[in-house]
Amino acid sequence: MEKKELICIGCPMGCPLTVEMEGGAVLQVKGNTCPRGDAYGRKEVTNPTRIVTSTVRVTGGTLPMVSCKTRTDVPKGKIFDVARALKDVTVRAPVCIGQVLAENVAGTGVDVIATKNVGVRN
């Protein structure tokens, strides 16, 4: 039996988790104080994913950059591919929160959306 030790990021509690596995299958998650910890532990050892946050360039805006994030989580192994793809993205002002800035970023099937409004420069 294999054991993996993790710190849960499913909620602010930060519970220390022990995930017991056998043959690549999760048998049990211990240490969680809420159901999110169990779900996080199982997912983290089998298919780790993350929300990616970054910034992209804005032309003609009141700010030169706009903060953004992936709409949903992406495979952990694709984080740097997403970051590299966003280096080449430039959007035109105005930008609204929730606006799609990049579709299917780095072939992940996930869109990148704005997390801040940027007005047009006068």
Percent of the chain with pLDDT over 90: 98
Q: Let me know if residue 120 belongs to a domain.
A: no
Residue-wise pLDDT tens digits, 52-67:
999 999 999 999 999 9
Same structural domain, 36 and 66:
no
Whole domain around residue 110: which residue ranges?
53-114
Split at pLDDT 50, 70, 90, the class of 119 is very high
Largest CA distance in the chain: 64
Same structural domain, 15 and 33:
yes
User: What's the confidence (pLDDT) of residue 68?
Assistant: 99
pTM for the full predicted model:
0.85
Q: Is 90 exposed, middle or buried (0-12, 13-18, 19+ CB in 10 A)?
A: exposed
User: What's the confidence (pLDDT) of residue 114?
Assistant: 99
Q: Is 8 exposed, middle or buried (0-12, 13-18, 19+ CB in 10 A)?
A: buried
Same structural domain, 57 and 38:
no
Residue-wise pLDDT tens digits, 71-99:
999 999 999 999 999 999 999 999 999 99
CA distances from 104 to 4, 71, 107, 108 (A): 32, 10, 5, 6
Q: Let me know if residue 43 belongs to a domain.
A: yes
Same structural domain, 37 and 72:
no
Give the residue-averaged pLDDT of 106-114.
99
Same structural domain, 22 and 57:
no
User: What's the confidence (pLDDT) of residue 59?
Assistant: 98
Residue-wise pLDDT tens digits, 41-51:
999 999 999 99
